[in-house]
């Protein structure tokens, strides 16, 4: 098993001149961002070519996952201004936010010797599912105490997600998703304004979204569906108790 963690794209924002020359037509900040992503692409390609050359590609289970959405951090921008190179549209929010723009990231899984063709998964899963999936695929006993679940049946048989609900917490922010519904508690968007770095208050301190009809989380439905909001708040509170975290209710 190999774990490869690419730092790019990330601050400090820099890239080799050979990569920068590929994107001379782009604005300065976007140019560096694109060059860093291109370097990652080449690195992934080098790993694949090595597996193919060794005859191991078809029997290798590969996960490629981002860790968070694009950021607006000033240390990732130019002249200490809010970063503008990344865009998480159509999702709301940026890095550090628990709105989907902050943590709804692309993920690719391939195992050409076992799973043929291409398809798009719509079942909600998480990066903590990677280790259990790899263990089951390799025929290994699953370690105890894991937060994640194996996705082998999801990937091979299009089974439902193994999660009835999935949860996130970051500072005061808390989020829970169950099916199409997602509830945010004291969410922040971390956009390019000081206000966007503050927790939402008042009615919006609890923000309920229907991700099937509104993936951008643009409308707060807590008053239209109070029962669902209450159910998700209760689920989130119970989860926090299991995590020995502070109850945010």
Of the candidate ranges 19-28, 94-103, 147-156, 180-189, the one whose mean pLDDT is the lowest:
147-156
Model confidence band, residue 106 (pLDDT cutoffs 50, 70, 90) = confident
Last residue of a domain, one of 157, 181, 198: 157
Q: 22 and 84, same structural domain? A: yes
Where in the sequence is the domain holding 233, given as residue range(s)? 166-242
User: Dihedral, CA atoms, 123, 125, 129, 135, nearest 10 degrees?
Assistant: 10
| pLDDT score at 142 | 84
Q: What is the CATH number of the domain that holds 39?
A: 3.40.720.10
Last residue of a domain, one of 157, 181, 210: 157
Last residue of a domain, one of 118, 138, 157: 157
Is 88 contained in some domain? yes
Q: How far apart are CA 220 and CA 99, in angstroms?
A: 12
Model confidence band, residue 119 (pLDDT cutoffs 50, 70, 90) = confident
The tens digit of pLDDT for each residue in 153-174 reads 999 888 999 999 999 999 999 9
Q: 82 and 143, same structural domain? A: yes
Q: 120 and 84, same structural domain? A: yes
- What average pLDDT does range 104-120 have in this prediction? 90
Q: 193 and 148, same structural domain? A: no
Q: 175 and 101, same structural domain? A: no
Q: 77 and 180, same structural domain? A: no
Is 142 contained in some domain? yes
Q: 174 and 82, same structural domain? A: no
Q: What is the CATH number of the domain that holds 238?
A: 3.30.1120.10
Q: In the chain, how many domains are there?
A: 2
| pLDDT score at 248 | 43
Is 2 contained in some domain? no
Q: How far apart are CA 96 and CA 75, in angstroms?
A: 14
Look over the chain and give the mean of its residue pLDDT values, rounded to a whole number. 93
Residues in a beta bridge with 174: 169, 185
Is residue 191 within 8 A of residue 94, CB to CB? The reply is yes
Is residue 154 within 8 A of residue 115, CB to CB? The reply is no
Q: 203 and 86, same structural domain? A: no
Is 249 contained in some domain? no
Q: 144 and 217, same structural domain? A: no
Using alpha carbons, list the distances in angstroms from residue 96 to 110, 168, 198.
28, 11, 12
As a whole number of Å, the end-to-end CA separation of the chain is: 41
Is 195 contained in some domain? yes
Q: What is the pTM of this model?
A: 0.91
80: left (phi over 0), alpha (psi -120 to 50) or beta: left
Is 197 contained in some domain? yes
Is 48 contained in some domain? yes
Is 9 contained in some domain? no
The tens digit of pLDDT for each residue in 9-27 reads 999 999 999 999 999 999 9
Q: How far apart are CA 215 and CA 92, in angstroms?
A: 8
Paired tokens of 123: 């079942």
Q: 133 and 63, same structural domain? A: yes
- What average pLDDT does range 167-184 have in this prediction? 96
3-state secondary structure the chain: CCCCCCCCCCCCCCCCHHHHHHHCCCCHHHHHHHHHHHHHHHHHHHHHHHHHHHCCHHHCCEEEECCCCCCCCHHHCCCCCCCCCCCCCCCCCCCCCCCHHHHCCCEEEECCCCCCCCCCCCCCCCHHHHHHHHHHHCCCCCCCCCCCCCCHHHHHHCCCCCCCCEEEEECCEEEEEECCEEEEECCCCCCCCHHHHCCCCHHHHEEEEECCCCCCCCCCCCCCCHHHHHHHHHHHHHHHHHCCCCCCC
Of the candidate ranges 62-66, 99-103, 155-159, 243-247, the one whose mean pLDDT is the lowest:
243-247
Q: 110 and 66, same structural domain? A: yes
Q: 97 and 74, same structural domain? A: yes
| pLDDT score at 147 | 84
């Amino acid at each position: 098993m190999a774990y490869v963690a690419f730092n790019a794209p990330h601050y400090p924002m820099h890239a080799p001149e050979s990569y920068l020359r590929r994107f001379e037509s782009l604005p300065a900040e976007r140019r560096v961002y694109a060059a860093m992503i291109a370097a990652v692409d080449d690195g992934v390609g080098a790993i694949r070519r090595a597996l193919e050359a060794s005859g191991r590609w078809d029997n290798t289970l590969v996960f490629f996952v981002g860790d968070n959405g694009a950021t607006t951090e000033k240390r990732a921008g130019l002249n200490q201004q809010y970063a503008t190179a990344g865009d998480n549209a159509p999702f709301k929010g940026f890095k550090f936010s628990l709105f989907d723009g902050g943590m709804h990231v692309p993920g690719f899984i391939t195992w050409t010797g076992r799973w043929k063709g291409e398809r798009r998964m719509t079942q909600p899963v998480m990066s903590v599912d990677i280790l259990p999936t790899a263990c089951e695929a390799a025929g290994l006993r699953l370690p105890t105490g894991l937060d994640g679940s194996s996705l082998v049946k999801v990937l091979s048989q299009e089974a439902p997600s193994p999660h009835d609900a999935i949860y996130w917490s970051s500072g005061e922010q808390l989020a829970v998703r169950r099916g199409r519904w997602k509830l945010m508690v004291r969410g922040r968007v971390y956009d390019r304004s000081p206000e966007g770095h503050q927790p939402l208050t008042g009615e919006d301190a609890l923000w309920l979204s229907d991700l099937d009809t509104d993936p951008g989380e643009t409308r707060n439905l807590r008053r239209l569906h109070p029962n669902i909001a209450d159910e998700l708040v209760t689920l989130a509170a119970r989860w926090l108790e299991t995590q020995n975290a502070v109850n945010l209710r």
